[in-house]
């Protein structure tokens, strides 16, 4: 049985170029980078938690060098680049996409030790060139999933909010959103049947702990479908609890370890 998550991707995918239009610091631990450029005309928005590979310059590089191989050939080509010219590559969610004008918003979770991805929105300036390669969406509730559950830490909050903002008006869901601080809590545009609980850590717990505790301690309607993403222990712990204690079928649980505490993502 495949351990790869189910994924919906566009019919055609290609690496497109874009550039930074502006950066907005929205709270203590979040910033939104708006990208633009004619290359985005080739981008196919799918909604939900659609994500993409973001290619950006390493500090000290004069220009962005992008792979040219077709399809997933970019992976090998990038790994074979010399270190001094190889770009950083990280996964991010499409927070919103607009055709007129061509703009794509990316929301970043900022950490003191967030590595290259966390540093990018802090140093990016208008005109900074980037590359995007679409990776599709993994939020794929089956038909008839009337009641849903979404659980996310700060790295997955942008994806959870994108799901809610593109959801049908009749969505009924319990949503647990863990963030680093109270300053990161804000109003959300969501269907009326969505119950959102924000869980600010404020330095009292490790990432993912509050969300997992809230999931296991509180009574909530039985979900027909669950989507959980964030720190690895949160994703696996939530899946284990939902299947063993709440008897949610494994096939109805989409779970994703976006990162692991104490480990950095490879180049």
pLDDT tens string 17-37: 999 999 999 999 999 999 999
Nearest Cα neighbor of 95 from 5, 13, 161 is 161
Give the Cα separation of 72 and 120 in Å (integer). 24
56 and 128 Cβ atoms separated by less than 8 Å: yes
Give the model's pLDDT for residue 11.
Answer: 79
Q: What pLDDT band is residue 267 in, cutting at 50, 70 and 90? A: low
Q: Report percent pLDDT > 90 for the chain.
A: 81
Residue 112 pLDDT exceeds 70: no
What token pair was written down for 14? 């290609």
191: DSSP letter: -
Phi and psi at residue 220, in whole multiples of 5°? -145, 155
Residue 113 pLDDT exceeds 80: no
Give the Cα separation of 16 and 256 in Å (integer). 26
Which residue is associated with the tokens 């993403």? 229
Mean pLDDT of all residues in the chain?
Answer: 92
208 and 230 Cβ atoms separated by less than 8 Å: yes
Give the model's pLDDT for residue 116.
Answer: 87
Better-scored residue on pLDDT, 254 or 14: 254
Give the Cα separation of 34 and 252 in Å (integer). 34
Q: Read off the pLDDT of residues 150-166 as tens digits, 9 standing for 90 and up.
A: 999 999 999 999 999 99
Q: What is the CATH number of domain 15-136?
A: 2.40.30.10
Give the model's pLDDT for residue 266.
Answer: 57
Which residue is associated with the tokens 């009749």? 170
147-259 CATH pick, 3.40.605.10, 2.60.130.10, 3.40.440.10, 3.40.50.80: 3.40.50.80
Q: What pLDDT band is residue 2 in, cutting at 50, 70 and 90? A: very low
Kind of pairing between the strands at 103-109 and 30-36: antiparallel
Residue 50 pLDDT exceeds 80: yes
Q: Read off the pLDDT of residues 187-231 as tens digits, 9 standing for 90 and up.
A: 998 999 999 999 999 989 999 999 999 999 988 999 999 999 999
Give the model's pLDDT for residue 150.
Answer: 98
Domain positions in the chain are: 15-136, 147-259
Q: Report percent pLDDT > 70 for the chain.
A: 95
Q: Over the range 172-191, which residues count as b (16 or more CB within 10 Å of their CB) and which as e?
A: bbbbbbbbbeeebeeeeebe
Residue 1 pLDDT exceeds 60: no
Give the model's pLDDT for residue 265.
Answer: 63
Segment 64-74 mean pLDDT: 89
Q: What is the largest CA-CA distance in the chain?
A: 54
Give the model's pLDDT for residue 102.
Answer: 97
Residue 263 pLDDT exceeds 80: no
């Amino acid at each position: 049985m495949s351990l790869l998550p189910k994924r919906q991707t566009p019919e055609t995918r290609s690496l497109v170029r874009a550039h930074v239009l502006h950066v907005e610091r929205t709270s203590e631990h979040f910033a939104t980078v708006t990208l633009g450029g004619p290359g985005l005309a080739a981008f196919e928005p799918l909604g939900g938690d659609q994500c993409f590979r973001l290619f950006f310059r390493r500090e000290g590089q004069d220009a962005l060098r992008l792979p040219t191989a077709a399809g997933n050939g970019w992976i090998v080509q990038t790994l074979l680049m010399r270190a001094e010219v190889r770009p950083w590559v990280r996964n991010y969610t499409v927070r919103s996409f607009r055709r007129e004008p061509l703009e794509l918003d990316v929301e970043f979770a900022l950490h003191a030790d967030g590595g290259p991805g966390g540093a990018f929105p802090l140093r990016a300036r208008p005109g900074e060139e980037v590359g995007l390669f679409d990776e599709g969406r993994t939020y794929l509730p089956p038909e008839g999933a009337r009641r849903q559950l979404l659980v996310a830490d700060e790295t997955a909050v942008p994806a959870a909010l994108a799901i809610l903002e593109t959801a049908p008006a009749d969505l009924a869901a319990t949503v647990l959103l863990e963030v680093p601080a109270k300053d990161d809590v804000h109003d959300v545009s969501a269907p009326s049947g969505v119950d959102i609980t924000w869980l600010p850590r404020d330095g009292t717990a490790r990432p993912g702990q509050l969300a997992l505790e809230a999931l296991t301690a509180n009574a909530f309607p039985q979900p027909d479908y669950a989507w959980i993403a964030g720190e690895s222990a949160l994703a696996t712990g939530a899946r284990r609890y939902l299947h063993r204690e709440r008897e949610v079928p494994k096939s109805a649980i989409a779970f994703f370890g976006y990162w692991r505490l104490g480990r950095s993502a490879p180049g």
